[in-house]
Structure 1
Amino acid sequence: MSVQTFTPPAFDQARAEAFAGKIAEALDTAAVMGMMAIGHRLGLFDTLAEMPPATSEQIAQKTGLAERYIREWLAVMTCGRVVEYDPARRTYHLPPEHAACLTRGAPLGNLAVYSRLTSLIGAVQDDVVKCFETGGGTTYGDYPCFHEIMAEDSQQTVISSLFDAVLPAFEGVDQRLAAGIDVLDAGCGRGEALLAMSQRFPASRFVGYDLCPDAIAHAQEKARDAGAENVHYEVRDLTGYCEPNRWDLIFSFDAVHDQKDPQGLINGLAGSLRPGGVYVMQDIGGSAHLENNMEFPMAAMLYAISCAHCTPISVGQGGQGLGTMWGWETAEAMLRAAGFQSIEQHRFEHDPTNVWFLSRV
C-alpha cells in the first residue's frame, strides 16, 4: 500500500514577500501598542502634550520617572512615528495632531486606552490557550484591570456625550429623568455612567447591578465620595433576572453580548419595565456576518477581544458565547423576540464602533 505525501503548492514569491513584510510591520505595531499602554498608564502622553520639545532628562524630571526607562520608551515611540525626535538637540516632541487622539480628554477620543486591551490579551494568553484546548471558559477575575479599562472607555464613548448627544436623541427620556423616575443599569461595571446621571438628575433614583464584587465596591466608594444619595450599587448575577413592573428606564452599556443568556436577560429586562417604560441598549455595532465587517472600525481588534474575553467569559458561565461581534442584526432580533414593539437604532459620530437601541414594549 503506497503512502501518499502532501506536496506544498508552488507560491508567488513576490506575494509571499509582500505578506511577510505586512506581518513584520504588524509585529512592529504590536510592540508600539504594548509600550503605548505603559505610556498611557503613566500619563506620559498627557505630559508630553503639555511640554515643548524636551530631552529625556527633562521629561523624567517633569514626571518623576526613571530617565533610563523614559529614554527607552521614547525610542519605541520615535521608531513608531508617534513622537518626533530632533537628534541635534536630543529632544522629543508629541505633535498636537498626535496628542489629539492619545491624551485624556482628547478631541478625537483617547485611542491609547485601547492599547491596554491588546496588552490584556497577552496577560491572559495561557488561559485562552487552555480554552482552545478544553472548550471551557474564563471568569472576570482572570482579567487584571478589565473594569478599569472599561471605565475609561465608558468615560469617552458614553459619559462625554451622554447629555449633549445621546439622551437628546431619545425623545422624552431626558425630560422623564429630570421629572424623577426609577432607573436600572444592568451590568453597570464601575457605574460611571449611572453616577453621572444621578448627579445630573437628582429627582430620579438609580440602581446598578453587576456580577463583579470588585467593580461594585469601586462604584460604591466613588458614589460615597461624591455624596450621591440617589444611586445604589449591588452585586447581582442577572441570570434569570426579572422584577416585574419595577423600572421606568433600563440601560445596558456594552454588557449584553457576554452574558450567560443574552436573550434571557433581554426578556427579563422587558418584563421588568413599567407601562411606558424604555430600554436603552448600547453594544458593539458590527454585523453578525464576517464579510460585512471587513471595513468596520478596529474589526480585527474587536474579534480579538471577543476571542480572548467576551466569548470565554460567556462560556465560563455556561453560556453560548455570542462574542463581541454578535451583530446588530442579532441584537435587534433578540429585542423583538423579547416583545419590544418599537425599536429605534441610533449611531453617533463620536462612537463609530457602537450601536444604540431605544426599545419600548
Structure 2
Amino acid sequence: MAIDNDRLNTFLSRAVGDLGAAISATLMLVGDRLGLYRALAVSPATPADLAQRTHTHERYIREWLANQAAGGYVTYDAESGRYSLDDAQALCLASPDSPVDLAGAYYIVEAAFHALERTTENFRSGQGMEWGEHHACLFHGTERFFRAGYHAHLLTEWLPALDGVVDKLTHGALVADVGCGHGASTVLMARAFPHSQFVGYDYHADSIRTANERAQASGVRNARFEVADAVSYGEEGLDLVTFFDCLHDMGDPIGAARHAHDALKPDGHCLLVEPFAGDHVQDNLNAVGRVYYGASSQICVPVSLARHGPALGAQAGQARLHQVMAEGGFRRFRRAAQTPFNLVLEARP
C-alpha cells in the first residue's frame, strides 16, 4: 500500500500532540492542587523560586515547568531561566472565576479514568452509569468548568436576553433551578436578586448537601436546596425554571420539560443552557465538539441510559432540544444567546 507521507506526517504530528496532552493531564491536576499556577501568576520564577513559594520539591518542579512550557501552558525565558504565565494563560489556569476555568475541567478527565473499566463494559453491554456512581472529582470538576461560564455570562448576558425576566427577578420572583448540582448557578442568581426566592433541585443527595453548605457559607438566605428529580419536585406557580447543562443527561427529558411547563405560571420562562452544538455531526467536528463528544460518551450518555432514557448526549443540538421542549408543552422556543461553549435557549408556555 502506497503511503502519502505528507498525510502521514500531518496525522502523526496531531497524534503526538494529543499524546503529549494526554500524558500531561495529570500534571495539570498537580499544578492546580499544589497551587503552582496561582503562584506562578504572581510573578515569574525559576524552578527553585516556585518550589520555595509552594513548599514543593525543586526537582519535580523543574520537570513540571518544562512539560508545561513545551505545551505552551507556561512561558519560558531562556536568558533568565524563569518561567511565567502571560495574561491569557493566567486567566485560564490561575483564576477559578475567569470565563474559562481550564484547570478545573481536568477533574472531569480524572473522573473518566476512574470510570474506565465501567465505561469499557458499558460499550459492550449498552448499560449505563448513574451520576452518583462516578468519583467525586466529577462533581467538583463539572461545577468548576461550568461555574466559570455562569460567572462570566449569566447575570450580564443570559438572563437579560430573556424577555422581561430581569425585571421579574428584581421585584421578586419564584425560581426553580433543576439539576442544580453544587448550586453554583442558584447561589449566583440568589445573591444578585435578593427579593426573589430560589429552589435548587437535584436527585444526587451529596450534591444537594454541598449546595446547602455553599449557600450557607456565602450568606445567601433566599435559596434552599432539596433532593428531587426533574419530574417530581413540588414547587408550583414558578416565574422561571432553569436547566443548566443537565437536560441532555436526563432519563426523561421530555417529562422534565413537561413538569417544568406545568409548574410555570402562564407567563413564565424556562431557561435552557446546553453545551454548544450544531444539529449535525459534521457541524461539531471541531475542538469544542471533540471535548463534548468525549465527555458525552463517558458521562452524559451513560447517565441517561442508566435510567432507560433517550441519551440525547452533550451534542444534541438546538433542533433536537426544540423537539423535546415542544413535546413537553412549550409553544415558543428561541436561541436567546450563545458562547463558544453553550447554547442559551428560551422556552415559554
Shorter-chain TM-score range: over 0.9
**Alignment match of 2:324 (pick from 334, 343, 353):** 334
Q: Distance in 1 between matches of 2:226 and 2:98?
A: 34
What does 1:14-163 align with in structure 2 at a 5 Å threshold? 14-51=6-43, 53-87=44-78, 89-104=80-95, 109-140=100-131, 141-163=133-155
The alpha carbon displacement at 1:71 in A equals 2.1
Take 1:347 and 1:175, find their aligned partners in 2: how far apart are those partners?
A: 18
Q: Give yes or no for the alignment of 1:224 onto 2:216.
A: yes
Contact 1:245-1:275 at 8 Å conserved across structures:
no
Helix, strand or coil at the partner of 1:292 = helix
Residue of 159, 174, 184 corresponding to 1:182: 174
Residue 343 of structure 2 corresponds to 355
Whether contact under 8 Å (1:113, 1:149) holds in the other structure is yes
Equivalent-residue separation in structure 1 for 2:292 and 2:93 (angstroms): 19
Secondary structure class of the residue paired with 1:277: strand
Residues matched between the structures, number? 348
- Sort the Cα spacing of 1:245 and 1:106 in 2 relative to 1 into closer, same or farther, 3 A: closer
Runs of 4+ in 1 over 6 A off after TM superposition: none
Shift in Å, 1:92: 1.8
Distance 1:236 1:254, change over 3 A: same
CA-to-partner distance for each residue in 1:18-74, whole Å, 9 max, x for gaps? 3233212211122233322321233322211111x3221211121223333222211
**TM-score normalised according to structure 2 size:** 0.92
Amino acid in the other structure paired with 2:142: M
Structure 2 unaligned runs (5+)? none
CA contact under 8 A between 1:102 and 1:112: conserved in structure 2?
Answer: yes
Equivalent of 2:192 in 191, 200, 203: 200
Contact between 2:105 and 2:144, CA under 8 Å: does it hold in 1? no
In structure 2, C-alpha distance between the alignment counterparts of 1:316 and 1:336, rounded to whole Å: 24
Q: Structure 2 vs 1, CA of residues 233 and 107 (structure 1 numbering), >3 Å: closer, same or farther?
A: closer
Q: Which amino acid aligns with 2:322?
A: E
Aligned positions of 1:254-293 closer than 5 A: 254-293=245-284
Question: Using the alignment, how far apart are the partners of 1:21 and 1:285 within structure 2?
Answer: 28
- Match of residue 300, structure 1, among 290, 296, 301: 290
Q: Percent identity?
A: 30
Instruction: Tell me, in whole angstroms, the C-alpha distance in 2 between the residues paired with 1:76 and 1:259.
Output: 39
Q: CA RMSD in A?
A: 2.1
1:191–1:126 distance in 2 versus 1, CA, 3 Å: same
Task: Give the residue type in structure 2 aligned to 1:346.
Answer: A
User: Hey, what does 1:5 align to over in structure 2?
Assistant: none
Shift of 1:315: 1.0
Answer with 1 or 2: which has the greater Rg. 1
Aligned partners of 1:286 and 1:327 also within 8 Å: yes
What is the Cα deviation at residue 96 of structure 1? 2.8
CA contact (8 A) 2:96 2:104 kept: no
Cα offsets for 1:164-200 (capped at 9, x unmatched): 2222221211111111121100100001111122222
1:233 Cα shift? 0.4
Q: Deviations over 1:237-275 (max 9, x none)?
A: 22x436484312111100100001111111111111122
Instruction: Kindly indicate whether the alpha-carbon contact (under 8 Å) linking 2:293 and 2:315 is maintained by their aligned counterparts in 1.
Output: yes
Counterpart AA for 2:223:
V
Q: Give 1:6's aligned residue.
A: none
